[in-house]
Amino acid sequence: MKVELRETTEAELDFVVALEAAPDTASFIEAWPPDRHRKALHDPDIAHLIVVDDDQPAGFTILAGLRDPDRSIELRRIVIAHPGQGLGRAALTLILDHAFTNLAAHRLWLDVKPTNARARHLYTSVGFIEEGILQDALRTPDGYEPLILMAKLASDEPGAASAANRGRNEGR
């Protein structure tokens, strides 16, 4: 397994949209139409990245808030084509490194459905802390659902604190 992250291309949007619509994924995220993904590819505040395993697309992630003056970046989503094989953990490790080292984030945060036990376990295992519950945050056909807010700080990530401190010295 050789896992990498790289920028998503427009040619890969069908792959991305299909992953979001997959039965294992659809109940945990709000799928975007292709046009929204296409706009995200060109938005300087968003990193839309493909997870590559042995030179083949295997998932994707979206990071938002790259221009946030407080350097608080949102892990908007991570979707892996074949979960349960360790690829999600490998991809999340790369995402953490990218956010804290390359993007000089101070804080990486996300929200997750309480019913997504696999994702919550993964996030906790790499050091995300549950910060609270967003009550009735998501409207669904069955009513409203809460979301759990989780975050990880650069100071909790080995080797990333110095990169985050460099970002602090840059002007707003």
pLDDT tens for residues 69-91?
999 999 999 999 998 889 999 99
The C-alpha angle with vertex 38 and arms to 35 and 43, in degrees rounded to 5, equals: 120
pLDDT over 90 at 59, yes or no: yes
Report yes or no on whether pTM surpasses 0.75.
Answer: yes
Q: Which domain range does residue 15 map to?
A: 3-168
pLDDT tens across 94-145, in order?
999 999 999 999 999 999 999 999 999 999 999 999 999 999 999 988 899 9
Strand ranges (DSSP E) for the chain? Answer: 3-7, 46-53, 56-64, 72-80, 107-112, 129-140, 143-153
| Residue 27: per-residue pLDDT | 84
Overall number of domains in the chain: 1
pLDDT over 50 at 163, yes or no: no
The domain that contains 113 carries what CATH number?
Answer: 3.40.630.30
**What would the mean pLDDT of 18-26 be, rounded to a whole number?**
89
Decide if 131 contacts 151 (C-beta within 8 A): yes
pLDDT range class, residue 38, cuts 50, 70, 90 = very high
pLDDT range class, residue 24, cuts 50, 70, 90 = confident
**How many Å is the maximal CA-CA distance in the chain?**
47
